[in-house]
């Protein structure tokens, strides 16, 4: 399995970047690149570092790390022309990107690369540490951008302006806020290319959803991608509890790295403060009895309570009272989630099978995602819950044992869905097995 995973990463490597998948996603995605670089570290630390260097070279001048760094390939829609970011004053030089961001997992990847390199050789360790030192300020600026531009209300949650920013594009989490996004008659026409790459359109978001995705891009273009104007004008503005939990984890991870590498003490203290604030916001969003965290529709002022994997965000970053936290962990283990008797692998589906929103094969509305399993397993290790960490690893390996490196899996049959040979799936398999 590990050898095949390595082959997937090599096959998807264009030289300077590993595409998210061979056909469906022929470009670099921000959070994919972070996971991919960890997998690459098992094969070649220099190549892992080069991957993140490519991503950081596309960082916008105001600090945002964009969600897609485009290659020359034209088989993906929306491509750079539709995004229209070439006109944004703060865009990076010499590379074309999208105009939104994705979950800030990058500091976690750098930490992991350093750990992996330290286990292989002195040379690798030096290479990884030198990179961490070089990348630290860029990552600090990225985190500062989130604090400056994406914490717009008193909930303290990190806000997203597009479902794509959550990484969980069509999750039922976004149904209510998307219902209020009404595409204008001047939405330029377009043709979806994603449906040409999957067996069944039922595995992907619907056309109605795509209209809304494209309409939000149109609104951002009209705001010239100015970060504050985008937040003011976007029809979609939601405090994302999962992104907030990842941000808390990443701030603490970056602060820890900064302490080791002797970085600026004031900036390290800021990161610790941002982590504490984000953790408190996640805890505050949680239902007081069940501990399930909720997103917040900032436009309507309503809490959103879809039964999705994001509800377990407090387990990633902590912050709940101990009794509520252990209740939340029991829910995760229960038949409504990982303990459902008919699951092929005992890892949480993206939506609870007992929820009316559950759809076993549609993307973020039911299938299990190896990369999400990895993230929870990693967090459980940090939180010193070794039993859960090793169960997630073992069951994660079971989930992907067909060897096709699916993007996501049908929870009851184990059928791989979306793309096969998906790079981040191969990367987390390497981390589980090596
Ligand atoms: C839009 C690349 C990306 C992942 C996302 C996943 C999917 C894109 C798409 O693929 O999103 O960004 O076209 O569907 O939802 O999490 O980063 O793997």
Question: Ligand 1, closest atom to CA 167?
Answer: 16
User: What is the structure's pLDDT at 390?
Assistant: 98
Mean pLDDT (the chain, rounded)? 98
| pLDDT tens-digit readout, 159-186 | 999 999 999 999 999 999 999 999 999 9
Query: Is the CB of residue 160 less than 8 Å from the CB of residue 229?
Result: no
CA of 34 to the centre of ligand 1 (A): 14
| pLDDT tens-digit readout, 301-336 | 999 999 999 999 999 999 999 999 999 999 999 999
- CB-based contacts of 59: which residues, under 8 Å, 6+ apart? 65, 66, 92, 138, 141, 142
Query: Is the CB of residue 36 less than 8 Å from the CB of residue 109?
Result: no
* Distance, CA of 141 to CA of 230 (rounded, Å): 19
* Pair of tokens at residue 352: 């609870």
User: What is the structure's pLDDT at 315?
Assistant: 98
User: What is the structure's pLDDT at 348?
Assistant: 98
Q: Pick from 213, 36, 169: which is nearest to 113 by CA?
A: 36
User: What is the structure's pLDDT at 275?
Assistant: 98
User: What is the structure's pLDDT at 5?
Assistant: 98
Q: Using a 6 Å CB cutoff, which residues line ligand 1?
A: 20, 25, 29, 31-32, 67, 164, 167, 169, 194
Assign 379 a pLDDT band (cuts: 50, 70, 90). very high
Question: Ligand 1, closest atom to CA 30?
Answer: 17
| pLDDT tens-digit readout, 124-152 | 999 999 999 999 999 999 999 999 999 99
* Pair of tokens at residue 217: 């891009």
Tabulate helix, strand, coil % of the chain (nearest 5): 55, 5, 40
User: What is the structure's pLDDT at 207?
Assistant: 96
User: What is the structure's pLDDT at 312?
Assistant: 99
Which residues partner with 158 through β-bridges?
240
* Pair of tokens at residue 210: 């795509």
Question: Ligand 1, closest atom to CA 363?
Answer: 15
Q: Provide, rounded to the nearest whole percent, the portion of the chain with pLDDT above 70.
A: 100
Question: Ligand 1, closest atom to CA 168?
Answer: 15
Query: Is the CB of residue 172 less than 8 Å from the CB of residue 365?
Result: yes
Q: Pick from 206, 213, 208, 201: which is nearest to 166 by CA?
A: 213
Q: What is the DSSP letter of 304?
A: E
| 152 burial type by CB count under 10 A (0-12 exposed, 13-18 middle, 19+ buried) | middle
Q: Pick from 75, 169, 310 the residue to mutate for probing ligand 1's pocket: most ligand atoms within 8 Å of its CB.
A: 169
| pLDDT tens-digit readout, 70-104 | 999 999 999 999 999 999 999 999 999 999 999 99
| pLDDT tens-digit readout, 12-67 | 999 989 999 999 999 999 999 999 999 999 999 999 999 999 999 999 999 999 99
* Distance, CA of 316 to CA of 116 (rounded, Å): 22
Pairing of strands 238-240, 295-297: antiparallel
CA of 63 to the centre of ligand 1 (A): 21
Residue nearest to atom 3 of ligand 1 (CA): 29
Q: Pick from 20, 29, 350 the residue to mutate for probing ligand 1's pocket: most ligand atoms within 8 Å of its CB.
A: 29
* Distance, CA of 34 to CA of 145 (rounded, Å): 18
**Catalytic site residues?**
169, 407
Dihedral (Cα; 393, 389, 29, 280), 10-degree rounding = 160
Say which residue the tokens 């941000």 belong to.
Answer: 247
CA of 26 to the centre of ligand 1 (A): 11
């Amino acid at each position: 399995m590990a050898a095949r995973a390595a082959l997937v990463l090599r096959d998807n490597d264009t030289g300077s970047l590993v595409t998210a998948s061979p056909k469906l996603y022929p470009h670099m995605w921000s959070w994919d690149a972070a996971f991919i670089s960890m997998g690459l570290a098992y094969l070649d630390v220099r190549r892992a570092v080069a991957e993140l260097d490519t991503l950081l070279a596309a960082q916008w001048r105001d600090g945002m790390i964009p969600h897609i760094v485009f290659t020359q390939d034209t088989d993906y829609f929306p491509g750079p022309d539709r995004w229209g970011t070439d006109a944004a004053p703060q865009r990076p030089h010499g590379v074309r990107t999208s105009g939104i961001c994705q979950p800030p997992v990058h500091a976690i990847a750098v930490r992991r690369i350093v750990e992996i390199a330290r286990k292989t050789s002195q040379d690798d360790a030096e290479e990884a540490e030198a990179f961490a030192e070089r990348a630290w300020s860029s990552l600090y600026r990225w985190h500062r951008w989130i604090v400056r531009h994406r914490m717009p209300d008193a909930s303290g949650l990190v806000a997203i302006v597009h479902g794509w920013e959550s990484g969980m594009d069509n999750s039922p989490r976004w149904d209510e806020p998307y219902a209020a996004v009404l595409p204008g008659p001047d939405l330029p026409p377009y043709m979806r290319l994603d449906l040409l790459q999957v067996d069944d359109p039922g595995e992907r978001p619907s056309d109605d959803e795509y209209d809304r995705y494209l309409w939000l891009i149109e609104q951002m273009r009209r705001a010239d991608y100015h970060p504050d104007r985008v937040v003011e004008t976007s029809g979609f503005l939601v405090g994302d509890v999962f992104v907030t939990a990842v941000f808390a984890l990443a701030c603490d991870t970056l602060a820890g790295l900064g302490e080791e590498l002797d970085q600026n003490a004031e900036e390290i203290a800021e990161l610790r403060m941002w982590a504490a604030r984000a953790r408190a916001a996640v805890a505050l969003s949680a239902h007081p009895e069940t501990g399930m965290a909720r997103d917040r529709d900032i436009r309507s002022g309503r809490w959103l309570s879809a039964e999705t994997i994001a509800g377990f965000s407090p387990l990633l970053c902590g912050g709940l009272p101990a009794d509520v936290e252990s209740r939340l962990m029991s829910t995760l283990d229960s038949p409504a989630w990982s303990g459902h008797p008919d699951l092929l692998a005992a890892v949480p589906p993206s939506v609870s099978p007992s929820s009316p929103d559950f759809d076993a094969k549609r993307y973020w509305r039911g299938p299990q995602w190896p990369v999400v399993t990895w993230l929870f397993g990693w967090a459980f290790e940090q939180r010193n819950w070794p039993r859960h960490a090793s169960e997630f690893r073992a069951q994660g390996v079971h989930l992907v044992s067909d060897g096709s490196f699916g993007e996501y899996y049908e929870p009851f049959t184990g059928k791989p869905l979306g793309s096969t040979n998906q790079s981040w799936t191969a990367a987390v398999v390497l981390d589980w097995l090596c």
